[in-house]
Structure 1
Amino acid sequence: MLTPASITRYKIPGDFWGGLASMLVALPASVAFGVTVYSAISPEYTVFGALAGILGAAALGIIAPTFGGTDRLISAPCAPAAAVLAAFAIELVQQGVAASSIVLLLTVLGMLTGVIQMFIGFMGAGKLIKYIPYTVVSGYMSGVGLIIIGSQIPRFVGAAPGVTWWRSLLAPQAWDTRSLVVGMTTVLVALLAPKITKAVPSTILGILAGLLAYLGLANSDASMLTLDNNPLVLGALNATSEGYIQTIMGRWQEIGELKLNQVATLTSGALTLAVLLSIDTLKTCVVIDQKNRTRHEPNRELLAQGLANMTASGLGGIPGAGTMGATMVNLSSGAQTRVSGIVEGMLTLVAGLLLGAYIAWIPVATLAGILIVVGWRMIDLEPMHFLESGATVFDFAVVFVVVGVALMVGLIAASASGVALSILLFVREQVGGSVVRRKTFVNQRSSTWCRPEAEMRLIAEKGDKAIIFELQGSLFFGTTYELYAQLEPEIKARDYVVLDMRWVQAVDMTAAHMLNLVRDTLRDRGATLMLSHVREQLPNGRNLVSFLTQTGLMGEGSGVRVFKTLEEAIEWIEDQLVGNVVQASAEEVPLRLAEMDLFQGRKDDTLADLEAMLQLRTVKAGEPVYRLGDTQRELYLIRRGTVRIMAPISGSRQSHHIASFGRGDFFGGLAFLDDGVRSDSAIASTDIDLFVLSLEQFNQLAEGHKKLALILMTAISRTLAQRLRHADGERTLLHV
């Protein structure tokens, strides 16, 4: 038996090794992301970028798992954060903003991002992020991947600072062969390593390969063995110097002097970044849930991530999210709890303090190569399959537009354009699809009430006076005209119009107003509008009953009849068509055998002999005549009252109402004929009087009164055939 102490001993080693392995993956990538952001300001800020990456990884690693609720999640600086911040820094540089001011604004942007994430979590909106369209996320991530690749090309080829990626590619004479060799070695090893071994993360192997390539080249170039004025390596970090602390303190003083309108200009960028980092985090949490059969708390996780990003930015680091790569390494290395994330953050801080001298020797081309690999892996090629079908070409267009806008305008505009296009496509799809699922007449359908043959003939003749529209999807301003176009000719010709709302997902005010017009038009003609399956709770959360009541379509004096199910509505119409007056069972006179439609045209003396052989039985309302699985072989003819037949559907244990039988009908014939167990239950709806014939009595009847037995079986067979023919007709109609 596991004791708390033994469980602790079991988890601690796994959490330590998981934290160590994930730190080895997260730290180099975090340094690379930091360098990407700060080198966009100026080459002199590259060292600050490496330090910002380390501090961001440490703060995120310690704070996020401490306050979060997802076990084994690793949080660190990530590609979306680097892309957004780098694009922001480049834009400010082009505007001529001073480098120190850009660093200050980056800090405020990161902190504001954390505040927005905390607000999203506090308001309980974490679950809403999953509704962002896949096409937008795919296009955005691909755009970020391409931006990262483009930003690293100058460093990869060793071009001069400030040169754009396309100019770097078009001027091979300006390439530094040393950077190109180191970068190519890094990329090749990082891409090919996973195909050879998964024991060591490919990021680590790529960095080691880049370092070895750099040292190999340094054997023939002594200038590569010094840190001073060496553009090929990061350079000294000076993480513990007073200069860095003074810089952070000075930055905080400057933040206090910012005006409200200056902070407000950062809001849109912070909102975009907060949503992206939240998506990245929650997507990773979903993967953890799938692998470990757990369930994360999205709002709690966003509160923790927001606090971590706010702290990381305040300390001079860069924000981030729950990252997939480091988290998967953490899982595969034996991590068990959130402690593994804290271990990763603490080891990152220790590594930054103790290994700063070694990190300083990491080649810039190596970090560029690692980020190029990261950017390549972020590109989602799945949307290319959208071009294979005309039904998904427009979805590909959304992805293409998002990527294009991200590259040519900016990431904020890309996300806005993607969401806008997705909304337009959704409206187009809703408008293009029919909201009428099926249109039938009452003589093509039937209620659960099994009626006598004469009544069925009458319903078949008059059934086209009542039409049924089964509606589906969203009834809103985009589909209202199409629905009215189908209703208009029918409301001028039918006495009863049934709108079945079972498959309706949403109803807006425009659709409700149109339905009021339909109701008024029918009422002026003396016709009736009927609604069925009006649910209290639609998928969008709206109470449809309250909404239609408030809009005047339903409620007292509206003139609209509302039924729980479509079968009940059809049953009511059938009663109107046959002119039946529902009579209380207590007032009904029990029928004799000769009075039943089943035996019309038979001689009274013959039927009198049959009636003498039948048992008389009375069953109180609510009591069973028989139940599912019973083995008695009896046929029941109803003299007075009604019976409901209940049976499970599609393997469900819950019984559903499938038929009703009234005065003059019979039931129980299947088990009587095939000698099987009961496949349904018969429950008395009212007090009922029955004629009962057991199988044993019938066998005796067949031996002594063959003509009586033939009369009975002929009558039963004819009625069952009629029921079967009608059921086959309905089934064929419903499958059209």
Structure 2
Amino acid sequence: MKIAFRPKLLDCLPTYNRTQFGKDLASGITVGVLALPLAMAFAIASGCSPAAGIWTAIIAGLITSALGGSRVQIGGPTGAFIPIVYGIVAMHGFANLMGATILAGIFLLAMGLARMGQLIRFIPVTVVIGFTNGIAVVIFLAQIKDFFGLKIDNLPAEFFGRIKTLAAYAHTVDLPTLALATACFVFLLSYNRLAQHISVLRRAPGPLVVLLLGTLISFIFSLPVETIGSRFNGIPQELPNIGLPNLSIHDFGKLISPAITIALLGAIESLLSARVADSQIDDRHDPNQELIAQGLANIAAPMFGGFAATGAIARTTTNVKTGGRTPIAGIIHALVLLSIVLVAAPLASYVPLATLSAIVMVVAVNMGEWHHFRELRRYTYNYRVILLATFFVTVVFDLTIAVELGMVLASLFFIYRMSELTRIERLPLGELAEEAHYLYPDGTMRVAAWQLFGSLFFGAVNKLEELLDPAAGHPEVVILDMTRLIQLDTTGLEGLESLRDKLDKRGCKLLLCGLNSQPGSLLFRSGFIDHLGDDNVCADMDEAFQRAYILLPNLMGSFDEDY
């Protein structure tokens, strides 16, 4: 198998010019400034340090843009990873999170090299909507502690334990924290409306404005609220120690399941983001190259103290809207973040955690596709069951289980639907029904013709039993018209073999006609036609009836009473 490795950056460089660089520069600066509060907020919400979030955005963002399969994709930490990362940190610790991220990166890299990028599109939209909305709810619930300033040392990752803990500490609400968080939440939620009336707001991303205003208010009025400095001692104004996390080979066994979850979600979100970007810039991304880049990004980020990353839809869309059209904009965004860390890191100590929790809550509200719940009554029962089951299991249990359950339900409903579309109908014989050669003395037919529709697969093969029903008579020749049979699997083949054997025991011959390419290929390759006989495979019904005429013996006036 030939492995193609060609980042989109190589396609953009030959025609790159100064005008496009100016647009990419402006877009890269804008996205880099936007990514700063989001990276810190997502990291804190995930149970990590804000520095870990920033370095994830820098390293993953740089690799995603330089080696990715999309012109405009922006990589980094995202809100969708919050419940997953938080659970891993709570159960295994941050060092094991970095190990799980590296393992997930290896899985993503292998998926890209194996050219599995297209397979991600097989996940039904109902499953995607279900887990996306479920993740939004989990993110929102996870921020209640910092939003209300609750005095909780360790918030459980498990749903019921989290709800129980929040209820038990509800009386510890800190009013200054709640007031600041509420003000930031309402302001950011209504930011777009305000920007329509206040021109200066149109030029700056909402999360950055809220971050600056929340920090200024907290500093000027000396609000007694928790900050990045009070909880994390600020952000180091230096490069992190570069190297692999300190893990033993035994640690990787328990990290396989979390790594698969990270890889699965990372692949889905990055390719969904790239597809959204394609529609905005009229381009087509390379899904396999994108998975390779995401794999390398998740392998490299933990070496700089980072964690799981993927393509970020919000930042990618911002990149497009501000003029970015090549991976250079994403590279500039990473360099802007690096400059901020090396120059302005001490200022981050004053950022209130209440403001960051408000930013994450708004991200959760905006990421959910809530209108699908309002429109559920318009869709089928199958659609509703898959979406609601995936949503419920994501919120209450685990994303991996939710996706697995959603895929199983979608597959079962699909199999049922396909089996319903598969039909076997008896064909009228027309004028042949009046010819004595085709009739028993009692007037019943010595020939029966049936037509197959759809797909004869494991979910519909039982429909062949209809041909053996005593009520269908006792023909000496059975003709199967397969002109409308488009697909046959090995279980369907086994069903045809069983039908042929049972008919043989009755002294009945089986004829096939009108074979299409796929069913015909399988029947020939399996040796079925050799056992059936080439003469018993006909081009059409007319030829089949001619063959039946030859096969039918003369009754010589005798008639078997059993018939």
TM-score where L is the length of structure 2 = 0.82
Which residue of structure 1 lines up, in the alignment, with residue 191 of structure 2? 193
Q: Does 1:50 align with 2:50?
A: yes
Task: Specify which of 416, 419, 422 is matched with residue 435 of structure 1.
Answer: 422
> Cα gap change, 1:467/1:569 in structure 2, threshold over 3 Å: closer, same or farther?
same
Measured after TM superposition, the shift of residue 275 of structure 1 is 1.1
Measured after TM superposition, the shift of residue 209 of structure 1 is 3.3
The count of corresponding residues between Structure 1 and Structure 2 is: 520
Please identify which structure carries the higher helix content: 2
Task: Specify which of 549, 560, 570 is matched with residue 524 of structure 2.
Answer: 549
2:182–2:358 contact (8 Å) kept in structure 1:
yes
Q: Does 1:388 align with 2:377?
A: yes
Please identify which structure carries the higher strand content: 1
Which residue of structure 1 lines up, in the alignment, with residue 404 of structure 2? 416
Q: CA RMSD in A?
A: 3.3
Which residue of structure 2 lines up, in the alignment, with residue 147 of structure 1? 138
Identity of aligned residues (%): 21
1:190–1:202 contact (8 Å) kept in structure 2:
no
Which residue of structure 1 lines up, in the alignment, with residue 4 of structure 2? none
Task: Specify which of 109, 118, 128 is matched with residue 119 of structure 2.
Answer: 128
Which residue of structure 2 lines up, in the alignment, with residue 449 of structure 1? none
Question: Given residue 25 of structure 1, which amino acid in structure 2 is its aligned partner?
Answer: L
Which residue of structure 1 lines up, in the alignment, with residue 461 of structure 2? 480
| Separation in structure 1 between the aligned mates of residue 133 and residue 548 of structure 2, nearest angstrom | 63
Question: Given residue 148 of structure 2, which amino acid in structure 1 is its aligned partner?
Answer: V
Task: Specify which of 479, 502, 522 is matched with residue 484 of structure 2.
Answer: 502
Which residue of structure 2 lines up, in the alignment, with residue 520 of structure 1? 501
1:497 alignment partner, SS class:
strand
2:230–2:349 contact (8 Å) kept in structure 1:
no
User: Structure 1 regions of 5+ residues with no counterpart?
Assistant: 40-48, 93-101, 445-454, 537-543, 580-736
User: Cα deviations across residues 258-309 of structure 1 (Å, max 9, x unaligned)?
Assistant: 02x3212101110111011111111111122223332221111111110011
Question: Given residue 453 of structure 2, which amino acid in structure 1 is its aligned partner?
Answer: L
User: Cα deviations across residues 213-257 of structure 1 (Å, max 9, x unaligned)?
Assistant: 553355444767x979746xx65212317xx53xx55xx3723xx
Which residue of structure 2 lines up, in the alignment, with residue 734 of structure 1? none
Which residue of structure 1 lines up, in the alignment, with residue 385 of structure 2? 397
- Return 73-82 or 486-495, whichever deviates more: 486-495
1:90 alignment partner, SS class:
helix
Measured after TM superposition, the shift of residue 78 of structure 1 is 1.0
| Separation in structure 1 between the aligned mates of residue 532 and residue 407 of structure 2, nearest angstrom | 44
Task: Specify which of 158, 178, 181 is matched with residue 180 of structure 1.
Answer: 178
Q: Does 1:572 align with 2:563?
A: no
Q: Does 1:212 align with 2:213?
A: yes
| Separation in structure 2 between the aligned mates of residue 187 and residue 561 of structure 1, nearest angstrom | 75
| Separation in structure 1 between the aligned mates of residue 405 and residue 261 of structure 2, nearest angstrom | 13
2:219–2:350 contact (8 Å) kept in structure 1:
no
Which residue of structure 2 lines up, in the alignment, with residue 296 of structure 1? 285
Which residue of structure 2 lines up, in the alignment, with residue 254 of structure 1? 246
User: Cα deviations across residues 12-45 of structure 1 (Å, max 9, x unaligned)?
Assistant: 1111122122222222211111112235xxxxxx
User: Cα deviations across residues 169-196 of structure 1 (Å, max 9, x unaligned)?
Assistant: 6655421222112211222122212234
Measured after TM superposition, the shift of residue 497 of structure 1 is 1.4
| Separation in structure 1 between the aligned mates of residue 355 and residue 535 of structure 2, nearest angstrom | 74
> Cα gap change, 1:575/1:125 in structure 2, threshold over 3 Å: closer, same or farther?
same
Measured after TM superposition, the shift of residue 522 of structure 1 is 4.2
Q: Does 1:28 align with 2:9?
A: no
Q: Which has the higher contact order (CA 8 A, sep 6+)?
A: 2
Question: Given residue 271 of structure 2, which amino acid in structure 1 is its aligned partner?
Answer: L
Question: Given residue 502 of structure 1, which amino acid in structure 2 is its aligned partner?
Answer: R
> Cα gap change, 1:68/1:220 in structure 2, threshold over 3 Å: closer, same or farther?
closer
Which residue of structure 2 lines up, in the alignment, with residue 470 of structure 1? 452
Measured after TM superposition, the shift of residue 411 of structure 1 is 2.6
| Separation in structure 2 between the aligned mates of residue 58 and residue 129 of structure 1, nearest angstrom | 26
- Return 406-415 or 299-308, whichever deviates more: 406-415
1:187–1:206 contact (8 Å) kept in structure 2:
no
| Separation in structure 2 between the aligned mates of residue 192 and residue 137 of structure 1, nearest angstrom | 27
2:427–2:449 contact (8 Å) kept in structure 1:
yes
TM-score where L is the length of structure 1 = 0.64
1:135–1:395 contact (8 Å) kept in structure 2:
yes
1:497–1:529 contact (8 Å) kept in structure 2:
yes
2:17 alignment partner, SS class:
helix
Question: Given residue 62 of structure 2, which amino acid in structure 1 is its aligned partner?
Answer: I
Q: Does 1:284 align with 2:273?
A: yes
| Separation in structure 1 between the aligned mates of residue 513 and residue 150 of structure 2, nearest angstrom | 72
User: Structure 2 regions of 5+ residues with no counterpart?
Assistant: 1-12, 156-161, 551-563
| Separation in structure 2 between the aligned mates of residue 202 and residue 270 of structure 1, nearest angstrom | 39
1:355 alignment partner, SS class:
helix
- Return 53-62 or 350-359, whichever deviates more: 350-359
1:183–1:366 contact (8 Å) kept in structure 2:
yes
> Cα gap change, 1:63/1:112 in structure 2, threshold over 3 Å: closer, same or farther?
same
| Separation in structure 2 between the aligned mates of residue 280 and residue 555 of structure 1, nearest angstrom | 50
1:554 alignment partner, SS class:
helix
